[in-house]
Structure 1
Amino acid sequence: MQQEHDPDARTAARPRPARTGLRVPTPGDRTRLVLASALMLFVELALIRWTSSNNLYLVHMTNFVLLASFLGIGLGFLRARASRDLFPLGPILLVTLVGFVLAFPVRTGTGRGGRWQLVGLLDLAPLPRWLSLSIIFALAVGTLMALAQEVARTFTRFEALEAYRLDVMGSLTGIAAFAALSFLRLPPLGWGLVGAAVFVVLLGRRLRLLRRGPAIALGALVLLLGAESVAGSFQWSPYYKIHTTQLSGGLFRVEVNNTPLQTALPVANLRRDSPFYLYPYTYAGSRDDVLVIGAGTGNDVAVALAQGAKRVDAVEIDPAIMQLGRDHHPDRPYSDPRVTTHVDDGRAFMERTDRHYDLILLALPDSATIVTGQSALRLENYLFTTQALTQARSLLKPDGTFAMYNYYEPWLLDRYANTVRTVYAASPCVQLGPSYGPRQQAVLTLRKDASTGGCTTTWTPRTAALEPSVDDRPFPYLGTRTIPSFYLWMLGLVLLASLAAVRTVAGPLTTMRPYVDLFFMGAAFLLLETKNVVQFALLFGTTWAVNAAVFAGVLLSVLAAIEVARRVTIRRPILLYAGLLAALAAAWLIPQDALLDLSLVPRFLAGVTIAFLPIFVANLLFAVRFKGAGSSTVAFGANLLGAMVGGALEYLALIFGFDALLIVVALLYGLALLTGRKHLVTSRA
């Protein structure tokens, strides 16, 4: 989301009326700027969400579409004064992108030999990954560039900070609109109708003067998204594109984002065909009170009831999947009065509950879904850290049992088993089921007192045990402290493309030398927001509502900084650097565990202060610096390159953890201070 990801870069491109000689802005101009900014953010959010639901290549490319959007928005601002109007091309490029993704999907299917593998349309071979991602990247860049030029052209009618303020208001509108559609669980047809309506308003009479190309494209966009929304058995939750398939005997299978998730089966079938569902109870003691995290469509809840549970707390993050289980599971477990359902993040539920359990079960919590477009977190990552398992142990009754199961590759089983051993100081019981290619069914269990309940088959590592994941570095699916080579190739190509694009639009890069400090500010701010996203995911859960609130909070912090800069003269801007360093130091020194120990309201207040104070100060610092920029276009080019580098630097968290990003942020702002020290003069704004 460009608006939040780097307001420094966005603002740096905004020329001031004194240099343009344009007319005084009207109320209509203000409305246009708000609408154009809202549309730009709305389309970006929709693309990040929608493309990954149809193309599995994007599942683990955490910020690929984000970086494409960021580059496109930057190029659009650099073309603010270009003679050609790109905005009418926006609908054409957008429908081309949508058509390509629908025509060349990447999903899990059965190929030759009946084995699961990646397939394309009609089970044909998918496009090569490099080709598929390159086309998506190019079309996303073009789409956002067209939208951004419309925003940038309207910017030129306002004083810089007034334009910035209206842009933030538009960004907040875009976030609110997309959050509302997520809450209502509307399919892409709803997204398309909203976007098309705003396009029509902004294009106005240009629709009649351009041979109807944009109008035809908007109609085709609505038709394509409508066909996807109504064809088959699709529904859209805040996290997934969900497809259900009816099977014989009244059973049904659920697929999410083009990959299988679960088949809802009665307990009788599970006993016969999938006995590993019952393994957690083999060596458990009492099972009166059971907590199921990752309840899904209800298989594990049904088993718990069949095993004699008197109360079951069923936690599932996705409301649509839980509703499917409520409506269609053959055993109707969610209708049983012994079951209490909770639509929530599993880690957040464990942090908030005051109940204690005989059995806590992590039941297949494997989402393959990224929290946002701007972090490497999957929805369940914080469930598998040593801190999370320690919290689970604290919720067990004296003779209670902890259990977790999934289809594990050997190295991942070793990591989780070693994490359990780290928490309990004892090796867990391991029960293995059938293998499916490189993955094998496995159940890990251990009682609160570190006994195995009579199980004699305990875990021993096949090789050197992998280190457990922790809250600061919650990447259980990453084998070692490294950045995968494909990520490095992808990031390198993205940065080269960005460099070439900025060079083409802005001219020789040497002209950006006076704005090296803006380069470092752009990189730092992107990292700062990434840290806030993951901080709030830990403190309050990885739900879509929390993520939307974080992005809105970032924008509100930016808006507050703008209002201060407009009304207050900053006599000694260098003091802002000191304040920013102090805010970063506080965020570094205050451990996350200390915040988790607080009750909800104090945790919220502390979390907001620690997260948003640095953002506020950083934006205030930028506003003061921007007033002295001699060439807003060149300043923006420098800041854009810095932001792209910041997007690449996010991946350092895979090696060093998220707290280390604060050190990188401080270093980058330190470089901004050194390279921009001549601008630290008394402000006369």
Structure 2
Amino acid sequence: MLYGVRLPWVSRVAMLVVVGLLVFESISAGVTWSPYYKVHTETFNAGTNVEYTTIQVNGIPHQNVMDVQERLKSEPMYGRPYERAAGNPLNNVLIVGAGTGTDVALALANGAKHVDAVEIDPRIQQIGSQINPNKPYDDPRVFVHINDGRAFLSGNADKYDLILFALPDSLTLVSGASQLRLESYLFTEESMKAARDHLTDQGVFAMYNYYREPWLINRLAGTVDEVYGHAPCLDTFTAVQSLAVIAIGKEQSNVVCAPNAVWDRASIATAEVPLPAVDDRPFLYLKERTIPTLYLIVIALILGVSLLGVRIFGGPFRSMAGYVDLFFMGIAFLLLETRSITTFALLFGTTWLVNALVFTGVLLAVLAAIEVTKKFTVPRPAIITALFVSLLLAFLVPNSVLLGLPVPLRLLLAVILAFLPVFCANLLFTSRFKDAKNPTSAFAANLFGAMIGGCLEYLSLVLGYQWLIAVVALMYLIAVLIGGRYAKRLVSV
């Protein structure tokens, strides 16, 4: 029995199979789990007495762990920031994306006196602490911070001689309810300004990665060019320019570029230097302000399957015609949830804990609305007014205003701006749903709306997250205008 419903034997067998597969995955040799990935490690010998360990996450190659001097022989890019910052005292170094410690070991080898190593994944850092042959995390000069890089910058006032973004390229999204990657807010124009503000007068900022596309390199180089007011050094290491190091000083004289290694905007076609990613549209890997065709195809397939599922389990569409307002509420609520996730990800980091707290906050707001509706009769006009006022406040107070506030005040205002609309929206929903004569059809209409809302979240790729609030307001306005009246045109299937 599950909540009073007896499961057929097929469902029981299916559940046992799923649990068995999960257990098998968990006890496989070299497999562990982090809050973000399934992590698999395996040790090899390169044939020249060079032992190294590979790390795969979710079945995708992620990084190799080996002695730092051996790494420099095969991948000289790791040493390039220090060559460009020759003469820098390296009294204080910040490494974002510290991973298993290769970049940390190299900073120590170059004389760093203090290293703040920021890594978002605790398991990856733990593996490095255990197996990195250079043992960088055992060095008393190293201080580990398990945190999102952008959040660390926002909550830290220290100044650094070198800030290094060391391959912070995640392979997962923050949440299934948003298009954010773990590193999305790290490569925006606002983040680059935050990094600049944390540099000493002789400070240098650098980042390196396998960037895959020349236009992506140009976007990042163009971003720091705008932020610092002068061109960065750009070192590429492969014919297709996928592997690159970008380095720039707070003052132009802080770095020494090799001949022909100064990024030159004038020599590049305008179309190949996309505008910087910004906090409202932190989509670094999206070249144009558009929804890719592949996304549209997937969205169409999802909608088709959703429509079929709602029809099968929710009954004829004719029975849902009286709940069109609940359909639009479903659209709006999913978009509202997405907005809450992205707000907290920017203000407090893209960590799993922040994500979990957001969903907890949403559920608590829903529960509070249900309890209020059960115990009090709140006039519908008052609910509607409170909802639109809360949406207006969320729209008029952008996240950039909150970023500069002390953390306690930032948290208080973020909770109000993110969850007050959720609470009001659920007051409206519960006051309407409790009067539904056919709860199954009413819920089906709302659920289908939520699926549509999940698809409309892709509008953020074009509009940005702030304007999603306007879409939410429009959906609730339509729902309010329709009210509980039956639609004039009934759909019969």
For Structure 1 versus Structure 2, the TM-score category normalised by the shorter chain is over 0.9
Following superposition, the deviation at residue 425 of structure 1 comes to: 2.0
**Structure-1 separation of matches of 2:244 and 2:334:** 40
CA contact (8 A) 1:429 1:446 kept: yes
- State the match for 1:441 in structure 2: 243
SS at match of 2:389: helix
Shift of 1:558: 0.8
Give the alignment of 1:338-487 within 5 angstroms: 338-408=141-211, 409-435=213-239, 440-451=242-253, 453-455=255-257, 456=259, 457-461=261-265, 462-464=268-270, 465-487=273-295
* 1:524-543 map, 5 Å: 524-543=332-351
**Cα pair 1:291 1:314 within 8 Å, conserved:** yes
* Mapping 1:268-667, distance limit 5 Å: 268-284=69-85, 285-408=88-211, 409-435=213-239, 440-451=242-253, 453-455=255-257, 456=259, 457-461=261-265, 462-464=268-270, 465-570=273-378, 572-667=379-474
SS at match of 2:387: helix
291-300 or 559-568: bigger deviation = 559-568
Q: In the TM superposition, what whole-angstrom CA distance separates every residue of 1:516-546 from its partner, at most 9, and x where no partner exists?
A: 1001001000000000011101111111111
Q: Confirm or deny: 8 A CA contact 2:164 2:207 kept in the other structure.
A: yes
1:223 matched to which residue of 2? 20
Q: Which residue of 2 aligns with 1:245?
A: 42
SS, match of residue 584 in structure 1: helix
1: CA distance between counterparts of 2:300 and 2:380?
A: 35
**Hey, what's the Cα distance between the residues in 1 that align with 2:307 and 2:229?**
51
**1:92, 1:376 → 2: CA distance?**
35
CA distance in 1, matches of 2:135, 2:313: 61
Change (3 A) 1:388 1:561: same
> Aligned partners of 1:577, 1:309: CA distance in 2, in Å?
58
- Structure 1's consecutive aligned runs of 4 or more residues displaced over 4 angstroms after TM superposition are 85-88
Which string of whole-angstrom CA distances, capped at 9 and with x for unpartnered residues, describes residues 436-471 of structure 1?
A: xx5621110111124462315211353321010000
Q: Secondary structure at the match of 1:340?
A: strand
Give the whole-Å Cα distance in 2 for the aligned partners of 1:89 and 1:595: 51
- 1:571-627, CA deviations, whole angstroms, 9 ceiling, x for partnerless residues? x20221111010001011112111111111111111111111001111111111112
The aligned counterpart of 1:191 is: none
Greater relative contact order, per chain length (Cα 8 Å cut-off, separation 6+)? 1
Q: Residues 585 and 363 (structure 1 numbering): CA distance in 2 closer, same or farther, change over 3 Å?
A: same
Deviation at 1:88, TM superposition (A): 4.6
* Cα distance in 1 between the residues matched to 2:368 and 2:9: 33
Aligned residue identity for 1:644? M
Deviates more, 1:641-650 or 1:445-454: 445-454
Greater CA drift, 357-366 or 240-249: 240-249
Which segments of 5 or more consecutive residues in structure 2 lack a partner in the other structure?
487-493
Residues 103-252 of structure 1 mapped to structure 2, 5 A cutoff: 218=16, 220-248=17-45, 249-252=50-53
Residues 1:627 and 1:267: Cα distance change in structure 2 (over 3 Å) = closer
Deviations 1:265-315 (A, max 9, x none): 222213322111010111212322110000011110011001110011000
CA contact (8 A) 2:322 2:485 kept: no
Structure 2 distance, partners of 1:347, 1:523, is 31
Q: Secondary structure at the match of 1:500?
A: helix
What's the CA shift string for 1:414-455, capped at 9, x where partnerless?
Answer: 1111111121122211011135xx562111011112446231
Matched residue, 1:254: 55
Match for 1:621: what amino acid? L
TM-aligned CA deviation for residue 351 of structure 1: 0.6
CA contact (8 A) 2:366 2:422 kept: yes
Match of 1:144 in 2: none
Q: Aligned partner of 2:386: which letter?
A: G
> Cα distance, 1:678 vs. partner?
5.6
Deviation at 1:92, TM superposition (A): 3.5
Tell me the distance in 2 between the aligned counterparts of 1:526 and 1:223. Answer: 33
Q: State the distance in 2 between where 1:540 and 1:87 align.
A: 44
- TM-score under structure 2 normalisation? 0.92
Q: Note closer, same or farther for the CA distance 1:568–1:453 as it changes in structure 2 (3 Å cut).
A: same
Tell me how far apart the structure 2 counterparts of residues 483 and 599 of structure 1 sit (CA, whole Å): 36
Structure 1, gaps ≥5 residues long? 1-28, 37-79, 95-217, 680-685
1:19 maps to: none
State how far apart, in whole Å, the 1-side matches of 2:23 and 2:443 are.
38
Q: Deviations along 1:467-510, whole A, 9 cap, x unmatched?
A: 10000000001111111111111111111122223223444323
Aligned counterparts of 1:540 and 1:490: Cα–Cα separation in 2: 31
Cα distance in 1, alignment partners of residues 19 and 129 from structure 2:
32
The separation in 1 between residues aligned to 2:121 and 2:29, in whole angstroms, is 21
State the Cα distance separating 1:241 from its structure 2 match. Answer: 0.9
Cα shift at 1:677:
6.2
Q: Secondary structure at the match of 1:659?
A: coil
User: Cα–Cα, structure 1 residues 451 and 518, in superposed 2: closer, same or farther, change >3 Å?
Assistant: farther
Q: What one-letter code is carried by the residue in structure 2 that aligns with 1:447?
A: G
Is the Cα contact below 8 Å between 2:324 and 2:445 reproduced in 1? yes
The percent identity for this pair of structures is: 49
Tell whether the 8 Å contact from 2:202 to 2:251 is kept in structure 1 after alignment. yes
In the alignment, which residue of structure 2 is the partner of 1:90?
A: 11
- Asked whether the 8 Å contact 1:289–1:311 carries over to 2, the reply is yes
Equivalent in the alignment of 1:206 = none
Is residue 323–residue 484 contact of structure 2 (8 Å, CA) maintained in 1? no
After superposition, the C-alpha distances for 1:126-182 in whole angstroms (9 at most, x for unaligned) are xxxxxxxxxxxxxxxxxxxxxxxxxxxxxxxxxxxxxxxxxxxxxxxxxxxxxxxxx
Whichever residue aligns with residue 463 of structure 1, its letter is: A
Between Structure 1 and Structure 2, how many residues are aligned? Answer: 473
When the two chains are superposed, the root-mean-square deviation of aligned CA atoms in Å is: 1.8
Structure 1 residue aligned with 2:489: none
**Deviation readout 1:186-244 (Å, 9 max, x if unpaired):** xxxxxxxxxxxxxxxxxxxxxxxxxxxxxxxx2x4443322222222111011111111
Q: Indicate if the aligned counterparts of 1:357 and 1:400 stay in contact, CA closer than 8 A.
A: yes
Q: Which residue of 1 aligns with 2:491?
A: none
Structure 1 or 2: more helix by fraction = 1
